[in-house]
Amino acid sequence: MGGPISLESRRTADLADALDERIAAGADCFVQPIGEIENPERWRRAARIVGKRRGWKTSTGVNDRCVWMADERGPGPTRADPQVARRLEALIAEALGDED
């Protein structure tokens, strides 16, 4: 029998399973509104677990609007030129209802 499993490890593993189910097959990034997140650092740990399962080179981040994860090798925002990145940020803000 193995040693005790910490509650935080179990919560992170459960969140990783739930997150993995929410991310579409073939996707290379995922964004979730910060208001839906109980613990952003746990979410980022879970996202890295999901990325590892999917064979991604995973980057994660958090700001006052959302948490995000992306495969650094994909065509997502980590490789976008600055103009495209600004447009993506505006689209995310619009989707979250924050059009500052």
Evaluate whether residue 1 is within a structural domain.
no
62: confidence class by pLDDT, cuts 50, 70, 90: very high
SS3 61: strand
42 part of a folded domain: yes
Q: How many domains does the chain have?
A: 1
84 pLDDT tier (thresholds 50, 70, 90): low
Q: Is residue 11 part of a domain?
A: yes
Q: Domain for residue 2, yes or no?
A: no
**Full domain range(s) for residue 44:** 7-95
Would the pLDDT of 78 be above 50? no
Predicted TM-score of the model (pTM): 0.71
Residue 43 has pLDDT above 70, yes or no: yes
pLDDT for 80: 47
Contact 89, 100 (CB under 8 A): no
The residues, any chain, with a CB within 8 Å of residue 44's CB and separated by 6 or more, are 60, 61, 62, 67, 69
- What are the structure tokens assigned to 65, written together? 């609007």
Average pLDDT over residues 43-58: 96
C-alpha gyration radius of the chain: 15
Within 10 A of 98 (CB to CB), how many other CB atoms are there? 12
